[in-house]
């Protein structure tokens, strides 16, 4: 009985898919109007719903290095 419960538990863990949530922040710079950057479930940044193909953290870092302020934090 314990072995069966163990196997059922393993199957449940393996069958759970990755969370498909996304999170977004707003960025702005002196040269642009405010715009939204989102972290997609694959870890990439998207702008206006278009996947940039670039890791979110790398994309945000590049924007901030260029003078943008994202999420209320500027570097």
**Any domain includes 6:** no
Tokens of 11: 């199957």
| CB-based contact 18:41 (threshold 8 Å) | yes
Overall domain count for the chain: 1
Report the number of secondary-structure helices (H) and strands (E) in the chain. 2, 5
pLDDT along the chain (75 residues), means of 10: 47 47 91 93 94 97 94 54
**Any domain includes 40:** yes
Alpha carbon distances (Å) from 30 to 34, 63, 64, 68: 9, 12, 12, 8
**Any domain includes 37:** yes
**Any domain includes 8:** no
Pairing of strands 23-29, 44-47: unpaired
Determine the structural domain holding residue 74 and report its residue range. Answer: 20-75
pLDDT of residue 41: 94
Q: What is the DSSP letter of 73?
A: B
**Any domain includes 5:** no
**Any domain includes 29:** yes
| pTM for this predicted structure | 0.67
């Amino acid at each position: 009985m314990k072995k069966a419960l163990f196997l059922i538990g393993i199957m449940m863990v393996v069958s759970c898919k990755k969370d498909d949530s996304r999170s977004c922040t707003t960025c702005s710079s002196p040269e642009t109007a405010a715009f939204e950057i989102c972290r997609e479930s694959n870890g990439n940044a998207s702008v206006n719903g278009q996947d940039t193909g670039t890791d979110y953290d790398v994309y945000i870092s590049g924007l901030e290095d260029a003078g943008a302020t994202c999420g209320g934090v500027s570097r």
